[in-house]
Amino acid sequence: MGGSRDRADEGGQRVDDRWRSAERTLRQPVSHPPALGEEAPLPVRLLRAALLSAPDGALPEPGPLDLGSPRDVASRTTRGRRGWLRALWAAAQTRPQGGLLDGAALPALATTARRVEIDPKAASRAAAACGVTYDGRALPPAWPEVLFVPLLAQLLVDPAFPLSPLGLIHTRQRFSAPRPLRSTERPDLRCWIDRARASDRGITLTVGMVASVEGRAVWTGEADLLSRAPTARTPGGRARAAKPVPRGQGLPLVAPADAGRRYARATGDWSPHHLWPITARLLGYPRPIAHGMWTLARCLELVADRLPRGEGVRADVRFQVPLSLPGRAVLLASELVGAPPHLTVRLLDPDTGAPHLRGEIGSCAG
């Protein structure tokens, strides 16, 4: 047992060494990347090739976009990091970011998975990666979104989907969990592209999700994903003028350098801008950024003792300035008057006051 773990650790160390070697080949700004030699890992070379070969699309007029006829995508799980990345690269080579090719339209794609088995070990790994409490039975409130990662991947790499799946930015998350989903349950999952909107930043998709047990929804959510237009200035946009957070205020949140990689291993979300400096820079980020759901899970954990016990949880938050890795932030939470009880939350850079996350977290009726 110990020997196999040691060999796995050694293998992981060799991979880390190769990534560090590759990163030394990409020191210039992303707008002028050098040629990556054979010493760069294959995923980096393929990622850069996909970005260079992707066509340019036209940004539609600002406003809601009409979706095509609804169509169900056959449910099949893309297994493992390698399968997901291969499908992602293949799609990225022929599709634009933040715009549409002539005659292209966004389809109302959907997919369903029946009686999905929950892996208790995977749930434990995801909870550990986010630093959240998990008793082995009742899953943390944000965790059910992990179940939808392979379903969303199927929609994004489907031949009918016209946008590049590379570099999608999670800008908003809403969910309602009337009761905890239990690790022994086998929920039915439904995931679909609900609506889309164009702006000067690109095209934002709203993806709907629902997990049901015996015909009753136990977790519903919506995620906004931005396909950023090439003309957009920066991935995170411009932060409004802010002030440093006074020392001693709020709850500290620390994001380790490997938070993105740990979350990816635990959940299957291998989006390149979360992983390594070399892949983040290819997508316009100076450093890797934390997954939105990792950030939300940490915030939920920090305010858990301020929510009524035994009640459901709901959240509606916007992800603003990306939280770079490694990084630190401060969570400020204020109680709002109303029923059911809820908090307004702000996750801020302690030195500049720039907002990483804003929104509300509260309880909901079962």
Instruction: Please report where in the chains the tokens 């986010």 appear, as a residue.
Output: 130
- For residue 259, what are the CA distances in angstroms to 27, 123, 126, 168, 324? 22, 16, 11, 18, 10
Q: By C-alpha distance, which of 175, 183, 118 is closest to 147?
A: 118
CATH number of the domain residue 112 falls in = 3.10.129.10
Q: What is the pLDDT of residues 135-181, one digit of tens each?
A: 888 999 999 999 999 899 889 988 889 998 887 899 999 999 999 99
Residue 211 lies in a domain: yes
Q: Map tokens 């979706």 to a residue.
A: 67
Least confident of 99-103, 120-124, 151-155: 99-103
What's the confidence (pLDDT) of residue 255? 95
The range of the structural domain enclosing residue 87 comes to: 18-364
Greater pLDDT, 4 or 130: 130
Domains in the chain, number: 1
Structure tokens at 281: 């820079």
Percentage of the chain beyond pLDDT 70 is 78
SS (HEC) of 331-359: EEEEEECCCCCEEEEEEECCCCCCEEEEE
Mean pLDDT of the chain, nearest integer: 81
Classify residue 1: in a domain, yes or no: no
Does some domain include residue 10?
A: no
- In a domain? residue 197: yes
pLDDT the model gives residue 10: 46
Is there a domain that residue 8 lies in? no
Burial 25-42 (b: 16+ CB within 10 A, else e): bbeeeeeebeebeeebbe
pLDDT per residue as tens digits for the range 16-73? 454 444 444 333 333 333 344 444 555 666 667 777 777 888 888 889 988 877 788 8
Q: Categorize the per-residue pLDDT at 247 as very low, low, confident or very high, splitting at 50, 70 and 90.
A: confident
- Is residue 294 in a domain? yes
Residue 3 lies in a domain: no
Q: What is the pLDDT of residues 273-318, one digit of tens each?
A: 898 888 888 888 889 999 999 999 999 999 988 887 767 899 999 9
Which of 294, 284, 348 lies closest to 321, judged by CA?
348
The Cα–Cα gap between 227 and 38 comes to: 30
Inside any domain, residue 6 = no
> What does the pLDDT read at residue 233?
54
